[in-house]
């Protein structure tokens, strides 16, 4: 496996002692970063050849040894020599202290110790599952260097921070074929994720073949469903990689597919048709009918026979109660049982479901909406509503896991997901206004493309010695600290805050008592207005559980909802970003340096395509070949360097506005073939920072000129493609703007490099061009606008 050159250079420099490198992470190509890493003084490595052998003692690992050898062969390009059944002096010796069941459990021991010396590799683990985690670390360490293939000498002690480290895949909205599911399990194992949350049912499809209720797959799946044997295969495949499988069937809402097959179970009479639209829909089960409970009990019985894990997910989110309210029989039950409202009815419903699960020896998992004090503490709550909801859950003694901030179906920067701390955090007195502070507060309104506007206020605080700090109060949510507050002029400022919408950056002009400007949600601009307030708002403090209560938070899950995802682009949407989420769930809390993360992620991205077989790069080439033919791949790849898909839910909301927010909207645009963020634009931002800090840096200026020239020269080829394929036609103005921006980039680099300035007229013209190019078109954004804006700002005299 050949790592990027700069990673290899970093790897060649060994440490001068045996320091622990838990925080910050070091320069080895490891992700997640282990809890403790020690390197010997001086240069040292274990050289490998094609006679490498692996021995396992203490447990029967099945075909794991052969799989690991196959991966070594892929990483090195070797044909490995056959190894004896029991090698006398194995290159890699795996010692397992305790033999356990092959199916992982919620409390499986995953710790391991790894020692690489000049004599060989010793991997010691308490159980087979620790050995699996340690082998992924070892495979990441195998490097093809300038002279040979080797493993750096190292000593590692490792254990996960959280026991629940999951990935949700949504097979309901768009069906995911079995080979694609199995490949993601390989990726999960490589990232040390250990819970596959399989979303099998929703309004738009029922994917679980039921023997008791066959109309579900016959009438509500379009013929796309998993047989019982296929689901058992997934369980076996996952278990062999130390991964639990937790199935989800949605109850009582998200039930349109059930309504198509069995309308008699619903709270309003049918007939129903297959639902193709995305969103929160009305069909909901009728909890007053005994047939409903027979149905649920039978389905749970079928699931238990296939999925051995101790947890079963019931969904429970986004229940539209309009059918309940309109049903006299249901309203009579609410009155007879003294239930306060529909939420109380759902809690009563969940109590009965929980009893069914208990009968089948399963624990309930559900989304935030199932949280209710009438349910036992044995349930597990998955939070999509954020750290405040999770903090409240933990404070009341319930177990919880976090998914907010880990939604990978939203195109977001990897840094945003990486900064998303699982345990709720306090404000550290950022909102305490002292006597020598001066404060100003501003109300704002941010209209969205779908749904109600986002409203709230932010407060800026200036201290004579310590400078600016601040906080923001979104209506209905707890207070958050502001970061990176900068005044671009006397009236214009920018600041950043991570929100449920993603990496959120304000670019506001505060003129007299009026606020104007825009908010960047990820990379998409949303015009924002507001006005100055006369006083600082009271706000709401974050919900932060005690240290003891925080132990109720047992991990988190990345989620990939499939409204905008189909199998041909599945890997593009997941990898390599999921490795960063996995690190947040495995590694120490203080392993959080974003720059270091990106350095290692670059190496892991390459490694995962070769060693693991993930297809994020292959899928993009396939999509670009479809759009532009074989000769169009390179031009589209170069264009993609400047462009990102519109982030946050901008793409979904644009589809909604156009009447295309449904299952048959083709996901065949240029945007669908793009990763969530442009690695090239991130590098450009680094070169821009270096050039601004040192205008005489010829290396940074040269790198910028080179990439901008490449974009310019690429434009004629891409423009030709936009005329040859109607699916690219809408990109034509975007391509033309990339050409304009490349020219502006060269001009601005020249000005900054000679420490010059622009006259106001030219600056105004360039600013207008940047603002125009920043618009979302054909669901993409020219991400290169951001670093060019920084170059333009650097040409303004202080």
Contact 450, 501 (CB under 8 A): no
Strands (E), 13-118: 36-38, 45-47, 54-57, 92-96, 112-117
CATH number where 29 lies: 3.30.379.10
Q: Could you identify the residue written with the tokens 């982030």?
A: 647
Q: Is the separation of the CB atoms in 171 and 182 below 8 Å?
A: no
**Annotated catalytic residue: which of 45, 110, 186, 202?**
202
Decide if 669 contacts 727 (C-beta within 8 A). Answer: yes
| CA–CA dist 480, 243 (Å, integer) | 35
- Our answer to whether residue 318 is catalytic in this structure is yes
CA distance 372 to 360: 22
Q: So what's the pLDDT on residue 768?
A: 97
Other CB atoms within 10 Å distance of the CB of residue 746: 17
CB 676, CB 651: distance < 8 Å: no
45-67 mean pLDDT: 97
**Are 283 and 272 a contacting pair, CB within 8 Å?**
yes
Cβ(577)–Cβ(408) under 8 Å? yes
| 298/377 same-domain check | yes
The CATH number linked to 235 is 3.20.20.80
Which of the 8 DSSP states describes residue 488?
S
- Single out the residue in 158, 189, 223 at which a domain terminates: 158
Determine the Cα angle at 487 with ends 486 and 488, to 5°.
110
Please say which residue of 481, 509, 532 terminates a domain: 532
Task: Let me know if residue 423 belongs to a domain.
Answer: no
Q: Is residue 242 part of a domain?
A: yes
742 and 663 belong to one structural domain: yes
Quick one: 113 and 211 in the same domain?
no
Q: What is the CATH number of the domain that holds 509?
A: 2.40.128.120
CB-CB contact of 46 with 150 (8 Å): yes
Q: Alpha-carbon distance 575 to 333, whole Å?
A: 48
Let me know if residue 707 belongs to a domain: yes
CA distance 70 to 63: 11
What pLDDT, in 10s, does the model give residues 394-404?
Answer: 999 999 999 99
Omega cis (within 30) before 271: yes
| Under 8 Å between Cβ of 776 and 730 | no
pLDDT tens figures, 179-205: 999 999 999 999 999 999 999 999 999
Distances (CA, A) of 401 to 195, 213, 364: 12, 32, 13
The percent of the chain in helix, strand and coil, each rounded to the nearest 5, is: 40, 20, 40
Q: Are residues 217 and 341 in the same domain?
A: yes
pLDDT at 623: 98
Whether 495 is in a domain gets the answer yes
Residue 545: inside a domain: no
Q: Provide the Cα torsion 702, 705, 711, 712; round to 10°.
A: -140
Give me the mean pLDDT over the 504-528 stretch.
97
Q: Are residues 185 and 333 in the same domain?
A: yes
- 503: Cβ–Cβ under 8 A, 6 or more apart, which residues? 412, 413, 415, 416, 496, 520, 521, 522, 647
pLDDT at 25: 80
Mean pLDDT of 206-222: 98
Range of the structural domain that residue 369 is part of: 164-418
User: Is 587 within a domain?
Assistant: no
- pLDDT (mean) for 636-646: 98
679-697 confidence digits (pLDDT tens)? 999 999 999 999 999 998 8
Q: Domain boundary residue among 418, 447, 477?
A: 418
Residue of 197, 254, 313, 417 marked active site:
254
Q: Give the model's confidence band at 612: pLDDT under 50 very low, under 70 low, under 90 confident, else very high.
A: very high
16 & 96 share domain: yes
Give me the half-sphere count of Cα atoms (radius 13 Å) on the Cβ side of residue 735: 22
Residue 642 sits in the same domain as residue 775: yes
Question: CA-to-CA distance for 790 and 744, rounded, in angstroms?
Answer: 12
Does 40 share its domain with 146? yes
Instruction: Mark whether 302 and 153 lie in a shared domain.
Output: no
**Which listed residue (38, 109, 157, 318) is catalytic?**
318
Task: Tell me the mean pLDDT in the region 507-533.
Answer: 97
Number of structural domains in the chain: 4
Q: Pick from 313, 318, 320: which is nearest to 168 by CA?
A: 313
Q: How big is the CA angle at 149 (ends 148 and 151), to the nearest 5 degrees?
A: 130
Please count the other Cβ atoms lying within 10 Å of the Cβ belonging to residue 14. Answer: 16
Q: Is 202 annotated as catalytic?
A: yes
Percent of the residues in the chain that have a pLDDT greater than 90, as a whole number:
94
Angle formed by the axes of helices 178-190 and 128-141, to 10°? Answer: 80
Q: What whole-number distance in Å separates Cα of residue 652 and Cα of residue 205?
A: 19
Give the model's confidence band at 24: pLDDT under 50 very low, under 70 low, under 90 confident, else very high: low
Statement: residue 527 has pLDDT above 60: yes
Q: Which residues of 681-706 are buried (b: 16+ CB within 10 A; e: fewer)?
A: bebbbebbebbeeebebeebbebbbe
Q: What are phi and psi of 88, to 5 degrees?
A: -70, -45
- Please state, in angstroms and rounded to a whole number, the distance separating the CA atoms of residues 225 and 207: 4
What the block records as the tokens of 381 is 């709550």
37 burial type by CB count under 10 A (0-12 exposed, 13-18 middle, 19+ buried): buried
Asked whether residue 447 is domain-assigned, the answer is yes
The yes-or-no verdict on residue 79 having pLDDT over 70 is yes
pLDDT of residue 16 exceeding 60, the answer is no
Beta strand spans in 111-237 (E)? 112-117, 120-125, 143-144, 149-152, 154-158, 164-170, 195-199, 201-202, 205-206
Segment holding 299, helix H or strand E: helix 290-306
The answer to whether 778 is a known catalytic residue is no
Helix ranges (H only) for 587-649 are 594-607, 616-628, 633-640
In degrees, rounded to 5, the angle at the alpha carbon of residue 578 between the alpha carbons of residues 576 and 579 is 70
Which residue's structure tokens are 């109380």? 344
- What average pLDDT score do residues 330-355 get? 96
Q: Which helix (H) or strand (E) holds 717?
A: helix 698-724
Rounded CA gap, 623 and 74, in Å?
A: 25
Class of residue 723 by CB neighbours under 10 A (exposed 0-12, middle 13-18, buried 19+) = exposed
Q: Which residues contact 608 (CB under 8 A, 6 or more apart)?
A: 187, 190, 575, 576, 579, 614
C-alpha–C-alpha distance, residues 162 and 586, integer Å: 6
pLDDT averaged over every residue in the chain: 95
Task: Give the per-residue pLDDT at 86.
Answer: 87
Q: Is residue 151 one of the residues assigned to a domain?
A: yes
Would the pLDDT of 2 be above 50?
no
pLDDT at residue 738 is higher than 50: yes
pLDDT by residue (tens digit) across 112-126?
999 999 999 999 999
Task: Clarify whether residues 29 and 91 are in a common domain.
Answer: yes
Tokens standing for 361? Answer: 């020896």
Residue 736 backbone dihedrals phi, psi, to 5 degrees: -65, -35
Q: Identify which of 129, 56, 127, 135 has the alpha carbon closest to the alpha carbon of residue 98.
A: 127
Q: Which pLDDT value is given to residue 797?
A: 63
Q: Enter the DSSP assignment of 264.
A: G
The pLDDT, as a whole number, for residue 270 is: 85
Q: Give the pair of three-digit tokens for residue 297.
A: 């009990």
Peptide bond into 252 cis (omega under 30): yes
pLDDT at 5 over 70: no
Same domain, 482 and 360: no
Identify whether residues 466 and 374 lie together within a single domain. no
Residue-level pLDDT at 215: 98
How many CB atoms sit inside 10 A of residue 255's CB?
30
């Amino acid at each position: 496996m050949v790592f990027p050159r700069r990673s290899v250079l970093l790897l060649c420099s060994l440490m001068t002692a045996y320091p622990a490198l838990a925080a910050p992470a070091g320069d080895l190509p490891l992700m997640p970063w282990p809890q403790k890493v020690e390197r010997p003084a001086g240069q040292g490595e274990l050289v490998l050849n094609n006679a490498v052998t692996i021995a396992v003692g203490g447990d029967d690992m099945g075909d794991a040894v052969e799989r690991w050898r196959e991966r070594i062969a892929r990483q090195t390009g070797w044909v490995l020599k056959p190894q004896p059944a029991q090698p006398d002096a194995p290159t890699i010796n795996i010692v397992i202290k305790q033999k356990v069941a092959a199916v992982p459990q919620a409390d499986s021991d995953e710790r391991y110790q790894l020692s690489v010396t000049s004599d060989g590799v010793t991997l010691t683990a308490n159980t087979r599952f620790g050995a699996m985690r340690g082998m992924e670390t070892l495979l990441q360490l195998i490097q093809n260097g300038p002279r040979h293939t080797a493993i750096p000498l190292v000593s590692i002690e490792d254990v996960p921070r959280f026991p629940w480290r999951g990935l949700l895949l949504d097979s309901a909205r768009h069906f995911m074929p079995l080979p694609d599911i199995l490949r993601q399990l390989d990726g999960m194992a490589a990232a040390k994720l250990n819970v596959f949350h399989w979303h099998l049912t929703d309004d738009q499809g029922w994917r679980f073949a039921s023997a008791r209720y066959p109309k579900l797959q016959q009438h509500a799946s379009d013929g796309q469903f998993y047989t019982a044997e296929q689901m058992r295969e997934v369980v076996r495949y996952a278990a062999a990689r130390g991964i639990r499988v937790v199935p989800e069937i949605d109850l009582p809402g998200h039930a349109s597919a059930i309504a198509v097959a069995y309308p008699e179970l619903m709270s309003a009479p049918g007939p129903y048709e297959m639902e193709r639209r995305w969103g929160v829909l009305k069909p909901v089960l009728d909890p007053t009918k005994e047939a409903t409970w027979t149905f649920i009990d039978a389905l749970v019985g079928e699931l238990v026979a296939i999925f051995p894990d101790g947890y079963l997910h019931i969904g429970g989110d986004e229940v539209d109660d309009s059918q309940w309210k309109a049903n006299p029989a249901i309203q009579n039950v609410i009155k007879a049982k003294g239930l306060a409202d529909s939420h109380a009815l759902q809690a009563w419903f969940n109590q009965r479901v929980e009893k069914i699960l208990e009968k089948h020896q399963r624990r309930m998992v559900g989304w935030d909406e199932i949280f209710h004090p009438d349910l036992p503490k044995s349930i597990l709550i998955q939070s999509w509503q954020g750290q405040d909801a999770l903090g409240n859950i933990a404070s009341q003694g319930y177990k919880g896991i976090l998914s907010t901030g880990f939604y990978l179906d939203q195109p977001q920067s990897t840094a945003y997901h990486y900064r998303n701390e699982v345990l709720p955090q306090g404000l550290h007195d950022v909102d305490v206004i002292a006597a020598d502070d001066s404060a100003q507060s501003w109300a704002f309104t941010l209209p969205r493309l779908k749904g109600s506007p986002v409203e709230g206020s932010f407060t800026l605080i200036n201290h004579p010695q310590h400078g600016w700090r601040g906080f923001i109060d979104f209506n209905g949510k707890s207070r958050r600290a502001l970061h990176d507050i900068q005044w671009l002029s006397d009236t214009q400022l920018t600041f950043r805050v991570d929100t449920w919408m993603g990496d959120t950056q304000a670019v506001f002009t505060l003129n007299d008592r009026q606020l104007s400007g825009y908010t960047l949600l990820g990379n998409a601009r949303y015009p924002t207005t507001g006005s100055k307030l006369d006083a600082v708002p009271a706000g709401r403090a974050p919900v932060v559980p005690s240290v003891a209560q925080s132990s109720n938070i047992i991990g988190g899950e990345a989620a990939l909802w499939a409204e905008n995802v189909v199998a041909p682009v599945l890997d593009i949407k997941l990898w390599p970003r999921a490795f960063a989420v996995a690190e947040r769930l495995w590694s120490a809390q203080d392993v959080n340096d974003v720059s270091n993360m990106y350095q290692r992620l670059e190496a892991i991205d390459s490694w995962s395509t070769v060693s693991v077989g993930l297809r994020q790069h292959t899928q993009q080439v396939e999509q670009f070949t479809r759009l532009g033919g074989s000769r169009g791949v390179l031009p589209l790849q170069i264009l993609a360097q400047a462009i990102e898909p519109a982030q946050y839910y901008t793409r979904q909301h644009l589809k909604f506005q156009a009447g295309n927010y449904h299952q048959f909207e083709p996901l065949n645009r240029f945007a669908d073939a793009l990763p969530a963020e442009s690695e090239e634009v991130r590098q450009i931002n680094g070169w821009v920072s270096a050039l601004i800090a040192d205008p005489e840096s010829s290396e940074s200026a040269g790198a910028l000129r080179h990439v901008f020239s490449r974009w310019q020269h690429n434009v004629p080829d891409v423009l030709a493609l936009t005329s040859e394929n109607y699916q690219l036609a809408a990109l034509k103005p975007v391509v033309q703007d990339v050409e304009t921006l490349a020219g502006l980039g060269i001009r601005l680099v020249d000005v900054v490099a000679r420490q010059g300035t622009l006259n106001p007229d030219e600056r105004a013209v360039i600013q207008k061009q940047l603002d125009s190019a920043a618009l979302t078109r054909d669901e993409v954004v020219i991400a290169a606008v951001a670093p060019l804006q920084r170059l333009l700002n650097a040409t303004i005299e202080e």
